[in-house]
Amino acid sequence: DAGVIQSPRHEVTEMGQEVTLRCKPISGHDYLFWYRQTMMRGLELLIYFNNNVPIDDSGMPEDRFSAKMPNASFSTLKIQPSEPRDSAVYFCASSLYGTNNSPLHFGNGTRLTVT
């Protein structure tokens, strides 16, 4: 079990550029989550999927953010256009069942810096 795999580990981009973050969940997990971590706001849920279907996207900050899960083994979080306030660590996590029955397995995160 390789765990949740995120790429890239670090991303530095200029304001206005498109950024795509990638995630491969643990095989067989039905739930996939995208979290954002900043010093000011801590960890916040952006969106989560169940069986590849978005269930709760109420945490997505604005239309510049979009997330997709085209299949059970891959998800992307896209920011277009990026802004300096998007700088944060973005975590992907997966869970076998819901979070009350199985733990969240987090990836190592992508540190995004927008200059």
Residues that bind another protein (CB under 8 A): 3, 31, 33, 42-45, 48, 50, 55-56, 59, 89, 91, 93, 95, 98-100, 103-104, 106-109
Output 82 or 94, the one with its CB closest to another protein.
94
φ and ψ at residue 65, rounded to 5 degrees: -100, 135
- Quick check: helix, strand or coil at residue 25? coil
E strands, 14-109, where?
A: 19-24, 31-38, 42-50, 53-56, 65-71, 74-79, 88-95, 105-106
CB of 108 to another protein, least distance (A): 5
Q: Are 28 and 12 in contact (CB under 8 A)?
A: no
Output 20 or 102, the one with its CB closest to another protein.
102
Burial 31-45 (b: 16+ CB within 10 A, else e): bbbbbbeeeeeeeeb
Output 79 or 92, the one with its CB closest to another protein.
92
CB of 20 to another protein, least distance (A): 20
CB of 81 to another protein, least distance (A): 26
Output 81 or 89, the one with its CB closest to another protein.
89
- DSSP designation for 85: G
CB of 68 to another protein, least distance (A): 18
